Chain A
């Protein structure tokens, strides 16, 4: 299988690549339109600041390509947030795949949320073999609201979308590549879609 991890200079690509390797897959890193288009599966990671990451995407011309992809796409963390309409972080316009806004956690809780929290109300084949309330590793200051695309929720400050799905697009706020065996199961499920 031909798996491509989008490498646009704002992702923890190494960790995602290694996690796929541990499952017996050999993904390649690329920012080439042709390579990404030809992939069976596309993983869109992201860490750091949203407006900076969006700039990097635009530089490589991937902002127009990504929403048109037809194969299964998995956005991770900031990758998921960039697939949404817009984020309050740096007032950044997203790729508009998921019709939802990304907001900042209130100061009633510590920001960033950092550590392991549960995912519940699981509604997708992405979560096959996982129990409700499985623990995932999360690091983020902004969250996607619960919406029609929500396929998993997490509670921190409030209930928010820890995973989204629309057609061939999946997004997870947590880091499956860093979430022990349960996270690996989610990656495996995605790669088997």
Chain B
């Protein structure tokens, strides 16, 4: 019976947002426009996406205001949960996003700069809405955490940082392997599997999705709880329904 009623693995399209429009960075550079976020979000919900992530890469205050309006429109029209990340550094930022209808927020650089922020957010809003995103890549065999969209290396070790993040009250970790992001060569399953076994909160795999088999692998070998991808979904290379059917064929629990 336990097998019959299992929490499903989640498929999460990620939409990079700049000034209210969707963009996707390939290896964090070269931005390609992939449409209106609200229209895309609604489509994804109808196609069977389990959740959505919006990553705001707007650099200006005005751009960020536009994003807040977009969050409200998404909340109005979309009937699945969504996370908003990018440039969030205070309780006030989070309060505004949650009040606009976001279900969760994702923090990254601000948590590295001031780890207490994780405690403050989970105390005030509950750990269920605090996702900590971690960008890391291997340097001399060690997974090193990077800041600011992956542009600045830190001295933090991925696994130590992830443990600290959990202890401070994060509800979930979104791990992006910079070595895999944009390559379409598969997810960083070795690191993911280690994260999943060392931690007791859900892990979202990000970076490297290219084929359906990559998703099968990240759930089976990477022990990920959810998998996030952008371009394979945005450009129709993988249909979510086909993907989920294939996952089910591989005995991976999904919502269909």
Instruction: Give chain A's interface residues, CB within 8 Å of chain B.
Output: 12, 14-15, 18-19, 21-22, 47-49, 52, 78, 107, 110-118, 120, 133, 135, 137, 139-141, 154-156, 159, 175, 177-181, 183-184
B100 at the interface (CB under 8 A from A): yes
A48 and B7 form a contact (CB under 8 A): no
Closest to B172 in A: A114
**A110–B9 CA distance with the chains assembled, in angstroms:** 13
Interface size class of B (residues with CB under 8 A): 35 or more
Give the residues in chain A near B72, CB-CB below 8 Å: 14
B77 surroundings in chain A (CB, below 8 A): 18, 22
* A156: B residues at CB distance < 8 A: 5, 7
List which B82-108 residues lie within 8 A (CB) of chain A.
98-101, 103
Judge if B45 is at the interface, Cβ distance under 8 Å. Answer: yes
Q: Which residues on B sit within 8 Å (CB–CB) of A179?
A: 79-80
- Which A residues are in CB contact (< 8 Å) with B129? 47-48
**Given A14-B101, A22-B79, A180-B7 contact (CB < 8 Å):** no
Q: A15-B101, A139-B128, A155-B2 are in contact. Are A113 and B79 (CB under 8 A)?
A: no
Q: Given the known A-B contacts A112-B171, A178-B81, are A48 and B125 also in contact in the complex, defined by CB atoms under 8 Å?
A: yes
- Which B residues touch A12, using CB under 8 A? 98, 101, 103
CB <8 Å contact, B81 and A47: no
Query: Nearest Cβ distance between residue B52 and chain A, in whole angstroms?
Result: 11
Q: Which residue of B lies closest to A140 (CB)?
A: B128
Q: Give 1 or 0 for each of B183-211: 1 = CB within 8 Å of chain A CB.
A: 00000000000000000111000000000
The reply to whether A110 and B103 contact each other, CB–CB distance below 8 Å, is no
Known: A47-B126, A154-B5, A156-B7. A116 touches B101 (CB 8 A): no
Interface presence of B76 (CB below 8 A): yes
Residue pair B1, A112 in contact (C-beta under 8 Å):
no
A112 lies within 8 A of B50 (CB): no
Tell me, yes or no, whether B123 is within 8 Å of chain A by CB: yes
Shortest distance in angstroms between A39's beta carbon and chain B's nearest beta carbon?
Answer: 22
Q: How far is the CA of A19 from the CA of B81 in the complex (A)?
A: 12
Question: Are A116's CB and B2's CB within 8 A?
Answer: no
How many angstroms from the CA of A139 to the CA of B50 in the assembled complex? 13
Cα of A15 to Cα of B10 in the assembled complex, Å: 21
Of chain A, the residue at the smallest CB distance from B129 is A47
Tell me if B101 and A18 are in contact (CB < 8 A).
Answer: yes
Closest 6 CB pairs of A and B: A155-B5, A48-B126, A14-B101, A139-B128, A135-B255, A116-B255
Q: Are B6 and A155 in contact (CB under 8 A)?
A: yes
